Amino acid sequence: MDDNAEHAAQEGRGRREGRGQAGDGRAAPRRAGAVALLVSATASGQGKTTVTAALARLLARRGLAVRVFKAGPDFIDPAMLERAAGSAVYNLDLWMVGAEASRAMLARAAGEADVILIEGVMGLYDGTPSSADLARAFDVPVLAVLDASAMAQTAGAVVLGLRDYGPVRMAGVIANRVAGSGHAAMVAQALRNMPLLASLPGQAASLPERHLGLVLPGEVDALDDLLDSLADALQLDDAAWDALPAASLPEAPPKILPPLLQGKRIAVARDAAFAFLYRANLDCLRGMGADIQYFSPLADEPAPEDADAIWLPGGYPELHGAALAAGTAWQASLRRAHAQGKPMLAECGGLMAVCESLVDKDGKPWPMAGLLPARTRMQARLAALGLQGWQTAHGQLRGHAFHYSTLEGDIAAAGHARRHPSGDSGEAVYRAGSLTASYFHAYFPSCPQAAAALLGGPA
């Protein structure tokens, strides 16, 4: 567990030990075996993250050990859910993460936790693989989040359709944005033999969003107060909750990684501009023997001189153009490391930072580190979204792309990732000396050998 995860866990323990049970008024009983639920909906925008966060916070305050996962590629929702649950959040995906690795993570969580919540992605059946595919692969029942603000009895038809279309095992429903107890009762009656596990009234304050999704937790004032208010408002049917069966998730042995980065120190940019880090990627690097050292370009901290390699992950550099452009120390350190031939990996936001300039949404250019002879430009419409895989000499490195900027410049690509499942050409991969840069976000555990080679391991 790294520093942020430990901080989240300590906050979670403090809530449970300090005010959790008194604030909720009920201590949930511990049971033999974890309850596992996949939280999904008809579409994006129904309130999956809000409901998952509220439920995780409520159960953690009752003294239960809660583990949360996020289905599919995502950096921002996991950060918010970590804050809500007080424990580290990892991604699950049948293709990017892989069925075996996903099963192993769920099995370990089942041995440690009372409750496992998996927040789905988009609608229940959207995508290849979909949240429904994930639920069926591990026999995890679905908890449907339904925006009931403009319906009552029709809720039953919607949820029955969600259950039967696949089909999936349906554990029950959480009605979001209900007008009151009478409205919730109408929804409950319409569900026939499915329980209304909880309802959540319409929220005066919700989790804030921007162009790539939710705002990062560190940027939200009084976030814990907001999460507590959501948990307070969640009306949980305790009898229906206690009747949920324990999951059947057999133990899985941990995967042993080869020591391909033993003795290597890797400098990782990490701050509000470079915050898109899969926790599993950091675990993978450490598992191969790397020593990770963080630095903050936003604070104009240079990359450590004794680093053997540098990784600039994605994030929001477009929101911090002025601060990054004014930072002479971090830019000079990257140019120096590049001239020395140190391996460097720049992903998405990292790619934007190593180009000559970044043009923000207002059309203002900001000078960047200048290692790649190109510039990036923000645009109003989405430039790319979805799973992709990059075939390397060591195997396929899987991941995804999600960005609103485009690259401009007369620069040839050294290769391309491929979109999944179509196989169409995806994100370009650029090389400039020891630098590898792309909009492609890699999930390192999908091919540890390829990840190691990008950061100074065996070529």
- Separation of alpha carbons 375 and 353, rounded Å: 9
Residue 80, Cα to own-chain centre: how many angstroms?
A: 9
- Report helix, strand or coil for 382: coil
Task: Provide the CA 135 distance to its chain's centre, in angstroms.
Answer: 18
Measure the CA dihedral 298/207/280/36, to 10°: 170
- C-alpha 127/C-alpha 406 separation (Å) is 24
3-state DSSP helix/strand/coil % of the chain, to nearest 5: 35, 25, 40
For 40, 315, 445, the CA distances from 208, given in Å and listed in that order, are: 20, 17, 31
pLDDT of the residue at 207:
66
Known catalytic membership, residue 348: yes
Could you give the C-alpha distances from 223 to 65, 75, 218, 406, 456, in angstroms and in order? Answer: 21, 18, 8, 33, 39
Superfamily of domain 265-454: Class I glutamine amidotransferase (GATase) domain (3.40.50.880)
What CATH class does 3-242 carry? alpha beta
The structural domains of the chain, with segments of one domain joined by +, span 3-242, 265-454
> Could you tell me if 357 and 320 are in contact, meaning their C-beta atoms sit under 8 angstroms apart?
no
Cβ neighbours for 310, distance < 8 A, ≥ 6 positions apart: 266, 267, 268, 269, 303, 334, 337, 342, 343, 344, 345
**Do 3-242 and 265-454 share a fold?**
yes
- Catalytic site residue from 284, 348, 355, 447: 348
At 421, list the tokens: 């499942």
Backbone phi, psi, residue 292, to 5°: -100, 130
Q: What is the pLDDT of residue 212?
A: 52
Element (H, E) at 406: strand 405-408
pLDDT for 249 equals 84
pLDDT of 32: 61
pLDDT at 259: 97
d(CA 258, CA 175): 47
196-201/170-178 β-pairing: parallel
Query: Which residues of the chain fall short of a pLDDT of 50?
Result: 1-23, 25, 210
Token pair recorded at residue 400: 């995804």
